[in-house]
């Protein structure tokens, strides 16, 4: 019994760590995607933001966020209380004693591996924000927001669902975070975009919308493939346990459905773009993949692979139109993050009812509403404070010249483009 | 016993999923490799093809291909019969009952994980095609071919070997698919290239061959490294089981040999290129790595690491000359896919006899011949039908201007090159 | 008991292989990092060096290096003796007999998986060298050095610590190789840089230092993310075993601390660069991540996550100033490899005493001193012999035109830059 217990603990921990490493890799995916979709002159800065926000997320979540999201004992189901620093990992002697007493329920793994898996999720949520505010926001004010977002805003709403708070009690279901992670990132991004305003030249005086093409399509595609790969960890690891027949089957189903939804998103976005614009717009196809992945994230376990493909396909159609609508509303999101993660995040939460009999539409809408409202308002307040104090937007000259030189003192492609400076 | 069984099932399933995720990553590898080896003006389109073909492969294999390749009961050893949609995964209760009855043979894992592993293989075969027909084929006709290839052609020949059909019965050996995957992809590509014709300007009136350099060498190198990494899953996962001492040793041997063959391919291609051209041609070195990997794929288990290095080295030499010969024959393959996957695929099938006493040269040649002939003919017919109806080649003006603008309405590097338009 | 043993062996082997695959991926990371930090005209050559050195490392370590580093029976604790070719893997029957006799201590896994894990480490050490000597060294002389380094120099000093030689006996601690791998790579690089001289135009007549910006920042950032991901395998796999509660907790702690140190390095380097130069210099941020990773590598297990963050932060500060100091000394290291791997490697060795009660400062300094002195001197001799015979530096004309054309006959970005030639 003790031997078996040791092995299960080890296998589940190892599974958690590998899945977490895949999710960490998504940070690279966001960095490449965003770097590919901005102009050359703003590339170094977006790269700097992406690597720095990941680091900030890791530190803040270690210092306070993890404890907020998963408090030992919560003060209430709305407010977890606050405490600092990580506790120790499980004591092997105690853990093994559990097995000896025979009441092991198969849900043990290293606490540190849980932290690792959770911390890379926070970074994902924050990565969503960096794309939407690209090409015009200052670096350090952005990182100041990241401190608050990853230390407090994300963990608090995360507590409401995954920490056992009131959304969990209300029957709201969100397997891997269409709401807790993706909608959260998109809501924070939307607040930032509203306070920041559009890039110069994006919207004309007479309502025209000027496309601003990204500088590097292979990079954007690479980023999407990285995200797709990382998502196997994101969703697959959210089963939390793999060590018996039922759990292993569940993880396998999640892998298959995650992949199927992304495939559905790609095909649907490709056809939608072709029918709408007459061209196979690659950026829409990439957003279709991400949309499909976001859409299946709230429930990647219970659908059949065929239904998962359809859920992804709907997301792939939605994202194309969402991007068009946001542009009509002059909400300038250079990479389509709000559409892919926000609109399709809500779709994902709703789609849970299609296959999971435990889900209710009302609980799903409650969850979506609460997460969006809280994160949007909290983020808006934080962005507004930063704006009112140090400012969030670069000067017009800096924006014209590109933020790479003003913020980082370094061009991304110094030999490829003289346009890089103008 | 039940505990042990649960753990073995879980470990083997988890191993399969991780290996499958590595293979999925190869889709990114092909995308980057091909994007790096084409000209800037055709980059967006090849990226679109790569992500879309992966999605098409996933959907078609789910809908029909998997059932064709692995039918419950085959009609005959030539024709598996046809059925649609995936079945349910293993029932945990039944699976555990197997263990209780004590006849467990250590070959159980989630059926869904098997599907996942198989589906990423189909995508690999199809990815081989996209490179060879680059820079002049229309997007949607290409995807129409992908539908037939991934739903029917690949699964049917796959059934003949891995599904237990007549090639398997004939003693043909192909551990991870030098033939079933790589030669298949190359044969389909060759048929396409023959019907498509060479790129404008590639071959002069007097037999000159004009090199058309790829636009982005770092991308091509990245793609090769991705493929190398993914191949650990491709070959390592093809052992199917890892959960005891013998199987674990086998998987480890496969990892070591796969790596060794790639290393052998690199060094051999580097030296061959240096001696032949006087320069260390990077594209040949990259193809040497891939050639070595393809060459070891039919038998990565039984060779010693030293022999595996030699098998890879022979492939690395072969690929250089195969590329030269194909160019002499005016078969225009911009990325060298037919040489690396086809010629070295055949070499890999033959090389099985060097270390596996169960292999016979005649069975290996039979397998190579059957796969090549069937896939080439079937693909030729499909390509020809598409060509006769909607056409497969872009217009001369579109080819001159680059297919990115005409097909995708989007340049890959809009700020880096005005040459991108001409 | 036999069943349990089989499973532990399988799990530990699989863990080793997955961690090894992550480390192999670091080869791609170094390639991308270095390709991003050199000028466009020297990019193809650095890519060629990176893929070729990996292949050379795999072959040499298989032929002789592994046996040098881990001899069956060493001649003495200074000299292991020499023997060639790999032995066979564990015999399953014998291994299982061990379990049946009941004296299993939980430290069995496939010998081949151990070789795989070790061989990718050698490649890492060698990859460090290629960056430092970039943009002016000839390709084949570099590979000649790689032959000696990976077959003899690295394995001999590796034997002294990990093979059970005199440094191990002296109580020197180096968990995953801040010294054995990173300082070793940096010492070899330093010797090469000293004999090679600086790039033309780097240092002015009057002591000015001219920055030579890298051509492709997204590539450099991608490389850093790849290294970060790969480092989970590098450090996480160095625990060697995962299959019980204590070991699983240890691996999880290593993952968390590795991540935390990199995060600390990023934030510290970002702030240091900002305060020192007034700009958020991305190249310094990237080096900060690597510095943090190198710094934690000697002891990623015993620190708390908070202490790990601090160890990484100190490394992130150190690397910025080390780069400045090396430039003052006219030691031209285009990518900062000597600073990140050498200076921070020594820091990592010292930092072991902060959390591991078994470490002594004297033993750590002894290890650092011995490794640096031996590798530096041995490398210097080898470089000097190569320089005296075939030469190590390209001609002034070749350097001016870029080594891509002279060495590889191939530009990296033929359509993006005419500056590529000048």
pLDDT of residue B1: 65
Tell me the pLDDT band of C72, cut-offs 50, 70 and 90: confident
Q: Can you read off the two tokens belonging to residue B195? A: 């019907």
Residues in chain A: 422
**Each residue's pLDDT tens digit, A67-83:** 999 998 888 888 888 77
* ipTM associated with this complex: 0.96
Lowest mean pLDDT among A95-99, B77-81, C50-54, C174-178: A95-99
CB contacts under 8 A, A 178-197 vs C, are: none
CA distances from A117 to A18, B14, B65 (A): 9, 17, 35
- Average model confidence (pLDDT) across chain C: 94
Residue B135 has pLDDT above 90, yes or no: yes
Q: Are C382 and C145 in contact (CB under 8 A)?
A: yes
Q: Please, how many CA atoms are within 13 Å of residue C96, restricted to the half-sphere of its CB?
A: 14
Q: Chain C residues with CB inside 8 Å of A222's CB?
A: 222
CB contacts under 8 A, A 207-236 vs C, are: 216, 219, 222
Q: How far apart are CA A20 and CA A26, in angstroms?
A: 10
Tell me the pLDDT band of A422, cut-offs 50, 70 and 90: very low
pLDDT of residue B422: 34
Asked if A59 and C259 come within 8 Å (Cβ–Cβ), the reply is no
- Quote the DSSP letter at residue B358: T
Q: Which domain holds residue A89?
A: 2-421
Is the CB of residue C422 less than 8 Å away from at least one CB of chain B? no
Q: Alpha helices of A329-395 — where are they, by DSSP H?
A: 337, 344-355, 361-389
**CATH number of the domain to which B41 belongs:** 1.10.3430.10
With H, G, I as helix, E, B as strand and everything else as coil, classify residue B189. helix
Given a contact as 3+ CB pairs under 8 Å, which chains touch A? B, C
Residue A94 has pLDDT above 90, yes or no: no
CA angle A147, A13, A183 (to 5 degrees): 40
Residue B333 has pLDDT above 70, yes or no: yes
Domain count, chain C: 1
With H, G, I as helix, E, B as strand and everything else as coil, classify residue B324. helix
Residue that is written with structure tokens 């060629």 in the block: C48
Rg of chain C taking only CA atoms, in angstroms = 21
Q: How far apart are CA C239 and CA C106, in angstroms?
A: 13
Residue that is written with structure tokens 């690891």 in the block: A237
Report the b/e string of C376-401 with b at 16+ CB within 10 A.
bebbbebbeebeeeeebbbeeebbeb
A281: nearest CB among B18, B21, B409: B409
Residue B100 has pLDDT above 90, yes or no: no
Given a contact as 3+ CB pairs under 8 Å, which chains touch C? A, B
Residue that is written with structure tokens 């939407």 in the block: A132
Phi and psi of C213, rounded to 5°?
Answer: -70, 145
Interface residue of A21, A222, A242 to substitute, partner C, most C CBs within 10 Å: A21
Q: Are A327 and A194 in contact (CB under 8 A)?
A: no
Is the CB of residue A242 less than 8 Å away from at least one CB of chain B? yes
Given a contact as 3+ CB pairs under 8 Å, which chains touch B? A, C
From B161's Cα to the closest Cα of chain C, the distance in A is 27
Region C338-367: what's the mean pLDDT? 98
From B179's Cα to the closest Cα of chain A, the distance in A is 26
From A300's Cα to the closest Cα of chain C, the distance in A is 25
Q: Alpha helices of B204-304 — where are they, by DSSP H?
A: 217-236, 245-277, 282-296
pLDDT of residue C421: 38
* Among the listed residues B99, B97, B69, B98, the one whose alpha carbon sits nearest the alpha carbon of residue B81: B69
CA distances from C136 to C27, C140, C380, C408 (A): 21, 12, 17, 13
**Each residue's pLDDT tens digit, C221-274:** 999 999 999 999 999 999 999 999 999 999 999 999 999 999 999 999 999 999
Nearest CA in chain B to C63: B306
Is the CB of residue A309 less than 8 Å away from at least one CB of chain B? yes
Region C276-291: what's the mean pLDDT? 96
Residues 6+ apart with CB under 8 A from C409: B277, B278, B279, B280, B281
CA angle C222, C227, C230 (to 5 degrees): 125
Nearest CA in chain B to C48: B282
Q: Chain C residues with CB inside 8 Å of B305's CB?
A: 62, 86, 115
Tell me the pLDDT band of C2, cut-offs 50, 70 and 90: confident
From A252's Cα to the closest Cα of chain B, the distance in A is 5
Residues in chain C: 422
Residues 6+ apart with CB under 8 A from C271: none
Residue B105 has pLDDT above 80, yes or no: no
Region A396-414: what's the mean pLDDT? 94
Interface residue of B99, B221, B260 to substitute, partner C, most C CBs within 10 Å: B221
Interface residue of A97, A109, A412, A418 to substitute, partner C, most C CBs within 10 Å: A412
Region A259-282: what's the mean pLDDT? 97
Residues 6+ apart with CB under 8 A from C328: C209
pLDDT of residue A74: 85
Q: Please, how many CA atoms are within 13 Å of residue B233, restricted to the half-sphere of its CB?
A: 26
Residues in chain B: 422
Q: Can you read off the two tokens belonging to residue B155? A: 């699964």
Tell me the pLDDT band of B94, cut-offs 50, 70 and 90: confident
Q: Chain A residues with CB inside 8 Å of C264's CB?
A: 55, 59
With H, G, I as helix, E, B as strand and everything else as coil, classify residue B314. helix
In percent, the amount of chain A with pLDDT more than 90 equals 87
Q: Can you read off the two tokens belonging to residue B361? A: 């040269």
Residue A419 has pLDDT above 70, yes or no: no
Residue A322 has pLDDT above 60, yes or no: yes
With H, G, I as helix, E, B as strand and everything else as coil, classify residue A91. coil
* Tally of CB atoms within 10 A around A409: 18
Is the CB of residue C408 less than 8 Å away from at least one CB of chain A? no
Rg of chain B taking only CA atoms, in angstroms = 21
Tell me the pLDDT band of A2, cut-offs 50, 70 and 90: confident
For B101-130, the DSSP string reads: TT---S----HHHHHHHHHHHHHHHHHHHH
pLDDT of residue C420: 39
Tell me the pLDDT band of B72, cut-offs 50, 70 and 90: confident
- Quote the DSSP letter at residue B412: S
Residue B276 Cα to chain centre, angstroms: 28
Q: Chain C residues with CB inside 8 Å of B252's CB?
A: 13, 16-17, 89, 110-113, 116
Report the b/e string of C174-187 with b at 16+ CB within 10 A.
bbbbbbbbbbbbbb
Is the CB of residue C34 less than 8 Å away from at least one CB of chain B? no
From A265's Cα to the closest Cα of chain C, the distance in A is 26
Asked if A54 and C236 come within 8 Å (Cβ–Cβ), the reply is no
Q: Can you read off the two tokens belonging to residue A348? A: 């994902």
* Tally of CB atoms within 10 A around B67: 21
Residue A11 has pLDDT above 80, yes or no: yes
């Amino acid at each position: 019994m003790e031997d078996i217990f040791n092995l299960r603990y080890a296998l589940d921990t190892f599974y958690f760590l590998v899945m977490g490493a895949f999710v960490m890799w998504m940070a690279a995916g966001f960095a490449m995607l965003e770097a590919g979709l901005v102009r050359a002159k703003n590339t170094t800065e977006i790269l700097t933001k992406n690597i720095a926000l990941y680091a900030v997320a890791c530190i803040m979540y270690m210092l306070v966020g993890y404890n907020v999201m998963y408090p030992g004992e919560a003060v209430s189901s709305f407010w977890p209380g606050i405490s600092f620093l990580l506790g120790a990992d499980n004591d092997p002697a105690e853990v093994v004693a559990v097995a000896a007493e025979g009441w092991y329920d198969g849900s043990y793994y290293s606490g540190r591996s849980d932290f690792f898996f959770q911390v890379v999720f926070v970074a994902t949520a924050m990565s969503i924000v960096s794309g939407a505010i690209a090409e015009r926001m200052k670096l350090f004010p952005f990182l100041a927001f990241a401190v608050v977002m990853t230390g407090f805003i994300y963990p608090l709403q995360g507590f409401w669902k995954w920490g056992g708070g009131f959304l969990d009690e209300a029957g709201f279901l969100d397997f891997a975070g269409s709401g807790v992670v993706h909608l959260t990132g998109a809501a924070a991004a939307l607040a930032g975009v509203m306070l920041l305003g559009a890039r110069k030249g994006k919207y004309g005086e007479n309502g025209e919308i000027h496309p601003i093409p990204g500088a590097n399509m292979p990079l954007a595609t690479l980023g999407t493939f990285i995200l797709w790969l990382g998502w196997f960890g994101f969703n697959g690891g959210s089963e939390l346990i793999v060590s018996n027949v039922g759990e292993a089957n569940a993880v396998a189903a999640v892998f298959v459905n995650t992949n199927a939804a992304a495939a559905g998103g790609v095909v649907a976005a490709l056809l939608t773009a072709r029918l709408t614009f007459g061209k196979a717009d690659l950026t829409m196809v990439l957003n279709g993949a991400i949309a499909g992945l976001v859409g299946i994230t709230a429930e990647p376990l219970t659908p059949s692979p065929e239904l998962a493909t359809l859920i992804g396909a709907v997301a792939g159609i939605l994202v194309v139109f969402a991007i068009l609508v946001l542009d009509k509303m002059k909400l300038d999101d250079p990479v389509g993050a709000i559409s892919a993660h926000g609109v399709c995040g809500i779709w994902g939460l709703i789609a849970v009812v299609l296959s999971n009999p435990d889900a209710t539409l009302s609980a799903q809408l409650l969850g979506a509403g609460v997460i969006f409202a809280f994160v949007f308002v909290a983020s808006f307040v934080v962005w507004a404070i930063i704006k009112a104090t140090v400012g969030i937007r670069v000067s017009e000259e800096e924006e014209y010249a590109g933020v790479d030189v003003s913020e980082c003192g370094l061009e991304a492609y110094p030999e490829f483009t003289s346009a890089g400076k103008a």
